[in-house]
Structure 1
Amino acid sequence: MKTLVWVEHDGSAIKDATLNAVTAAGKLGEVHLLVAGQGVGAVAEAAAKIAGVGKVHVADDVAYAHALAENVAPLVAQLMGHHDAFVAPSTTSAKNIAPRVAALLDVMQVSDILSVEGPDIFTRPIYAGNAIATVQSSDAKKVLTVRTTAFEKAAAEGGSGTIEPVATTGDAGLSTFEGSEIAKSVRPELASARVIVSGGRALGSGEKFRELIEPLADKLGAGVGASRAAVDAGYVPNDYQVGQTGKIVAPEVYVAVGISGAIQHLAGMKDSKVIIAINKDEDAPIFQVADVGLVGDLFKLVPELTEKL
């Protein structure tokens, strides 16, 4: 099988999620990458160095400068004439592109796969991760999104793929880029952080969230996350949300502060290597998955913990 992997990048560097998708694609057969954008020569060169990559298709056009799904999807569909599967990480951008590709190819998308059991058999979570479904696709062309936490990252160096320009499909005229507001932080991104400190609604306010969670995260060199309840209450922006409708993470250490452990939140972090929970309710569901549980008043315990680090 020939598999085409969508390379997610910021115009200059490849995002880590792509490396996980490459590992998944490698289990299907020959791996080709698609780098689309404007002025993406350096990205293509970096992509060719990823271990296990045979070929890098480069579409350099102003139409792909902002990775608008309406423009990228026809390009992918065109390239699928020579590929058997399209693989993309389960990121916000890729989840915007993949369904459009599936629609153009008139096939079923298999979302958020956890493993590749065969050329047409995959596993994926259902019921917020409480059950794992084994899915067999009878479609000639496969469209897959990959849960990145389920696959190791491919080595970013050591490959020797060839770079090949491809014909572009241009601007579909269905959407235009008006602008973006990108949150910037000196802390690690949630998707790639080794340690994450998350806060819940029990913190009571955005001020308390910043006062308690951020100093602890800084001491640990951690990324900062939050439960949906904390986000909905306006304590922090949406991009902090960890959970089924937020970011799926699997850091080495996950510290949950004032988070009860609703199913929606657990679905996004239960694959963490070590889970530490701080909550005053000893019956909170979070303690059922926690490796270390601390029952008590977070307003006393968190500052004490931060001070001792």
Structure 2
Amino acid sequence: MAVSALPRASARTFATSSSRLANTLLFVEHKKGEINPASLSALTAASKLGGDVHALVVGKSDEAKAVAEKASKVSGLAKVLVSSSDAFAHQLAEPIAPLIKELVEKNGYTHVTAGHTAVGRDVIPRASALIDTQQVSDIIQVDGEKEFVRPIYAGNALASVKSNDKVVVFTVRGTAFDEAKAEGGSASVEEVSAGSYSEPTKFVEEKINESTRPDLSTAARVVSGGRALKSAEGFAKYIEPLADKLHAAVGASRAAVDAGYADNALQVGQTGKIIAPELYIAVGISGAIQHLAGMKDSKTIVAINKDPDAPIFQVADLGLVADLYQAVPELIEKL
């Protein structure tokens, strides 16, 4: 059963007029020398505003310069601003936000944007507060220089939002826009001072789960398990082999994560990762509204659940009413 069109809800709107061409500052998130795909999607959204898009790359000296060089080749960027400092090593909001504010004031940017990622949700609200503007979060559509569409109520309605702020700050849902091409651009690179900043937050450690499977955020195929797996062992026995057969990423519902069956990094949903793969297989997931908010934009949704009344079947393109303990092994065998 295909997903029906979402209703459109009205949000508070403001009349506005623009007398100058939009110029946007894009905060580029990166890790281990690679640009986060969400930043490339944010660039696509920013390009719809018209005017130039300048990228801001921050980090430790060598890494920041290497990423800036890659960013200069991204199609759609007019300039890349790079700022190097040890304080930027872990992309903490406290040192980055004042730099964004300074660049906005110095260069007269009309818009500031970033991907709606964990880092973007940390850096951009703080920058927005310093600029004294109201942030528009998690947009999925650009209707004008100051007009956007964003999901509300866990994605069950869409709000049209118009801002009257002098500087418009917004974050972009990565799955709603195509990624800008990583090649074909010829942006100039300019170094900027890191400026002064406070450091009330200290980076302690980062724990990363290494996996040979595709990254959940960008994978074309995802196999997710729910609370019906009953244990971490069951999750590993049924979900992981199926994912390996399909060369897919592994996901999980919040119930499975809260029960300790899967790591928090695998959570799909309103409070986890919002994804839109080509194929999403939900195994033993009832389909709570919070989970649907994170995966209902998938191109093809397959659900396996023994409850024929499970909400997941309302959004599934293909549904199998069966006991997962029998259906999944059979599926793995046939694959």
**Residue 204 (structure 1) aligns with:** 230
RMSD: 0.8
- Give the alignment partner of residue 220 of structure 2, picking from 174, 177, 194: 194
Q: Deviations over 1:148-204 (max 9, x none)?
A: 110011100000000000111244221111221122111111111000000000010
Q: Deviations over 1:248-302 (max 9, x none)?
A: 0000000000000010000000000000000000110100100000000000000
- Aligned partner of 2:75: which letter? A
Spell out the pairing of 1:216-295 with structure 2 (5 A cutoff).
216-295=242-321
Q: Secondary structure at 2:137's aligned position in 1?
A: strand
**Residue 34 (structure 1) aligns with:** 56
Q: CA deviation at 1:11?
A: 3.8
Q: CA deviation at 1:72?
A: 0.8
Gaps of 5+ in 2: 1-21
Distance 2:217 2:152 in 1: 21
- Give the alignment partner of residue 90 of structure 2, picking from 66, 72, 75: 66
Check conservation: 2:98, 2:197, Cα contact below 8 A: no
Distance 2:188 2:32 in 1: 20
- Structure 1 residues 170 and 220, CA gap change in structure 2 (3 angstroms): farther
**Residue 158 (structure 2) aligns with:** 132
Q: Secondary structure at 2:30's aligned position in 1?
A: coil
- Aligned partner of 1:131: which letter? A
Check conservation: 1:227, 1:243, Cα contact below 8 A: yes
Distance 2:196 2:333 in 1: 56
- Give the alignment partner of residue 17 of structure 1, picking from 24, 28, 38: 38
TM-score (norm: length of structure 2): 0.91
Check conservation: 2:38, 2:173, Cα contact below 8 A: no
- Give the alignment partner of residue 180 of structure 2, picking from 154, 161, 169: 154
Spell out the pairing of 1:105-184 with structure 2 (5 A cutoff).
105-184=131-210
Q: Secondary structure at 2:58's aligned position in 1?
A: strand
Distance 2:241 2:294 in 1: 23
Spell out the pairing of 1:92-107 with structure 2 (5 A cutoff).
92-107=118-133
Distance 2:93 2:210 in 1: 23
Q: Secondary structure at 1:260's aligned position in 2?
A: coil
Distance 2:263 2:102 in 1: 37
- Aligned partner of 1:115: which letter? Q
**Residue 76 (structure 2) aligns with:** 52
Q: Secondary structure at 1:160's aligned position in 2?
A: coil
Distance 2:208 2:199 in 1: 24
Question: Which has the bigger relative contact order, CA under 8 A and spacing at least 6?
Answer: 2
Gaps of 5+ in 1: none
**Residue 5 (structure 2) aligns with:** none
Distance 2:296 2:150 in 1: 15
**Residue 77 (structure 1) aligns with:** 101
- Aligned partner of 1:34: which letter? L
Percent of aligned pairs with the same amino acid: 58
- Aligned partner of 2:66: which letter? A
Check conservation: 1:11, 1:43, Cα contact below 8 A: no
Distance 2:180 2:224 in 1: 28
Distance 2:317 2:297 in 1: 12
Q: Deviations over 1:208-243 (max 9, x none)?
A: 000000000001000000000000001011110000
Q: Deviations over 1:3-32 (max 9, x none)?
A: 011111114111111110110110112111
Check conservation: 1:63, 1:171, Cα contact below 8 A: no
Distance 1:251 1:233 in 2: 25
Q: CA deviation at 1:140?
A: 0.4
- Aligned partner of 2:143: which letter? E
